Structures are given as structure tokens and as C-alpha cells.
Chain A
Amino acid sequence: MQYILISMSTRHILLGLLAKGPSHGYDLKRRHDEHFPQARPLAYGQVYTTLQRLVRDGLAEVAGTDADGGPERTLYRLTEDGAREATDWAGQVTPPAPYVTNEIFAKVVVAILTDGDPASHLLAQRAAHMERMRELTTLKTAPGTELATVLAADYALNHLDADLRWMTTTQARLTTLTAVTVEADRA
């Protein structure tokens, strides 16, 4: 299983989940995985270390314990600062990151530097991208797919599509550059 969404702000997502009311670590993990079915499931360890940091930073606090027949569990709730932090974060515009560290970009540059074959690399990369886009399309169009999954698939599809457009432009540029070089050599 490949997850569509990989890096997300666990800290802010936990704050968001706590905004619904006090909760313990196990419950937060379960609700996280439910809300983001296309993300990598949270590890318990990560939930607990994140909760401890939220308490340290004054964004959450211990609200007592909850036994519920089983072992005692620590309940956490949002502080006022925590509630504000969650709302502020969700309202912030995400920096439109120029993904200049993108691996595909780096590989094309290295291929050019090493006199490799960037064009055939781009063709192979395109095929891999298309394969993944087909999987995502099948996933999102399957009957009964949850809205969260459809949205995650749309997000991934649009980003892969952007990669493809960059790859097409790059291929065209490389062809033009080669043509220009050949012309210059002839002159």
C-alpha cells in the first residue's frame, strides 16, 4: 500500500482533533487514521511525543484520566493558546514552495551534467507518473469511495500532473537546445 499524502503537520492535526473535546492518545491515533485514510497511519510513539510537546508549549494540558473498564489513560484537552494556534495555522496561506530540491529535477540536471540521456529518463519517468495517475484515478472513481480519499487523490493527481507538464516543457527545451547547438556547430 502506497500512501497518497505523506508529510503532514501531526502537531496541528492533533490540535484540530482535540478541538472536538478532550481525548486520549489512543483515541487521537484512531481518529487521525480515520480522518486521513490516505496518509501513513500515526505511530503511537509519535502521538505521545507530540502530545508531550504540546503540553510543554502550553497548547494542550492534562484533563484527568479515563479508565473506562481498561487501563487508565491520560486525557488531554486544548488550552486557549492551543485553540488559537489550530485556527491560525489552518488559516495561513502555505508558502508556494518552489520544489527545487525535487528529485526528478535533480536527476535531469545531473543527467545533463554527466552527458547522460535526460530525454529517455524523462520518458521513463513519465510512464511511472502515468501509472501512478491511473491507480489514483481508479481509486477515486471506484463506487463508494469516501470524500476524504477523493480529495487526497485529486491533490496527488494535480501535483503529478504539474510534474508532467514541467517534464514536457523540459523535454521541449532540451530538444531546442540540442538543435541550436547543432546549428551553431554547423555555422
Chain B
Amino acid sequence: MSNRPEPLVVARDLVKAHGRTPALRGAGLDLGAGEIVAVTGPSGSGKSTLLHCLAGIASPDEGSVTYAGERVDTLPERRLSELRRTEFGVVFQFGQLIPELTALDNVALPLMLAGTARGAAQERAADWLERFGAGEQRGLRPGELSGGQAQRVALARALVTGPRVVLADEPTGALDSLASEQVMAALVRTARETGAAVLVVTHDAQVAAYADREVRLQDGVTQDGVTAGLEVHA
């Protein structure tokens, strides 16, 4: 407990409503550098909203999010999109690949936007597709991919730039158990190799078991005590 790394991302007392629907009602968490954290909770408990707040995609009504000491929730859009391009790798719950581009170009795009030449970008993109078991789909467009294949491509795209923080929303939601095992193993291996911090939103306990610890969300509130040291009575 005591030797947990300095938090890289800190969220405190987040409150957020979508219109009149409360999504977060006091959620907070720490994500240390190199740490892998699973956010779990029932459907509608606010997991996606929390991830969007951490990524600076949604701004909370109350509370704060900091990344490496810098407030994310009040940052101007220019600096935010720079952060998202260089420091964060985000995997959305519902894919969001670019339909006109092949799997390979979808993964290469973030590198090209950062100035890498097309050939070199495609070469690295191919490695990442391979790592997540989607090498054979490199020439297909998102419309030709199964749900699980699209998730593998989306993960490769999120990791290709070597982000310090990976935020993944249900990255194994469309995969069967062996496929999610393969994807989670690849994600954990990547995180250990690159030192990236990873936050995985999932409702699957077997996926959450790949993380170092679990943060539980219930009705928009992160539960205390879940990660505290526990005595198990045999």
C-alpha cells in the first residue's frame, strides 16, 4: 500500500450530470505512473463519464482532474487536444475508427499527425496490429471488421504513439474469453514495457483481475475501502 507510485492522474470529488441525469455524484481516483487500474461497476454507474472526464473529453460540473500536476478540467481546448495527442491514448467504448481508412491507416494516423512519414508510420502501425492479434486485418476498413477486431485495432491506435496514460473503455466488450485474455495480456505487457499507466473500464471481473487494483463505481460514487488491506477470515 505505502509504496504505491506518485499519482500521475488525480481525480477528486467529480460531479457530472447529463442534462438532468446524474452520472457522477462524487467520484475520485488516483492513477500512478505505470499503474494498471480497473474501474468496474454496473451498467449506468458512470464509468464512461468518469473516463471522459479524465481524458478531458467531458468537463465535470464540480471537482478536479489533474495530470502530472496540471489541471485538465480547466485547460483551454488547444492544450487539451495536444495532451490527448501526445500523452493520452484513449479507447472509446464504441470504437470510433475512421470508416474511410484501412485498419493500418487508422493506427498510423496518430503518428502521421505527429509528423512521422507515412511509410515509417505504417511500419510501426503494423507491429502494433500484430501485437494485438489484428495483423491479418490490416487492409480492411472498419465496416469490414468484427466488433472484436475493431477493438483490437482501436487499442493498437491508442498505444502507437507511446502514451504515458492509456484510458480504455470496455476494450474487451466484444471479445470472447480467450480473445480478451490475449488482448489483456498484450495490454499489460505493453504497459509493463513502456511504463504507461493504464485505466481499464470493464464490467468483467476476469478482465479487472489483470489490473493491479480495482476502483468500484456505484451510482456515480467511487467506493471507499475496496482497495484497503483486508483480513481474510478462513
Cβ of A112 under 8 Å from chain B? no
- Give the contact stretch, choosing among A14-22, A35-43, A86-94, A132-140: A132-140
- Give the contact stretch, choosing among B118-126, B154-162, B163-171, B221-229: B221-229
Cβ of A126 under 8 Å from chain B? yes
Determine whether the beta carbon of B230 is less than 8 Å from that of A131.
yes
CA A137 – CA B228 in complex, angstroms? 20
Chain A residue at minimum C-beta to C-beta distance from B223: A123
**Min CB gap A58→B, angstroms:** 40
Interface of chain B: mostly helix, strand, loop or mixed? loop
CA A174 – CA B223 in complex, angstroms? 17
Q: Which of B186-234 contact A (CB under 8 A)?
A: 188, 205-206, 208-212, 214, 216, 223, 225-228, 230, 232
CA A57 – CA B108 in complex, angstroms? 69
- Residues in chain A near residue B209, CB distance under 8 A: 130, 133-134, 136-137, 157
Chain B residue at minimum C-beta to C-beta distance from A120: B225
CA A129 – CA B206 in complex, angstroms? 11
Cβ of B113 under 8 Å from chain A? no
**Min CB gap A152→B, angstroms:** 15
Cβ of A168 under 8 Å from chain B? yes
Q: Which of A121-161 contact B (CB under 8 A)?
A: 123-124, 126-131, 133-134, 136-137, 141, 157-158, 160-161
Chain B residue at minimum C-beta to C-beta distance from A164: B205
From B206, B216, B227, B228, residue with most partner A Cβ within 10 Å? B206
CA A168 – CA B211 in complex, angstroms? 20
Cβ of A180 under 8 Å from chain B? no
Determine whether the beta carbon of B210 is less than 8 Å from that of A137.
yes
- Residues in chain A near residue B114, CB distance under 8 A: none
Determine whether the beta carbon of A133 is less than 8 Å from that of B226.
no
Add 18 more A-B contacts to A123-B223, A168-B42 (CB < 8 A): A120-B225, A123-B216, A124-B225, A124-B230, A126-B216, A126-B226, A133-B205, A134-B209, A134-B210, A134-B211, A137-B206, A137-B210, A141-B181, A141-B185, A141-B210, A158-B206, A160-B205, A165-B205
Task: Show the binding face of B for A, using Cβ within 8 Å.
Answer: 42, 181, 185, 188, 205-206, 208-212, 214, 216, 223, 225-228, 230, 232
11 contacts between A and B (CB under 8 A): A124-B225, A124-B230, A127-B214, A127-B228, A133-B209, A134-B209, A134-B211, A136-B209, A141-B181, A141-B210, A157-B209
Q: Identify the 4 closest CB pairs spanning chains A and B, nearest first.
A: A133-B209, A137-B209, A164-B205, A134-B209
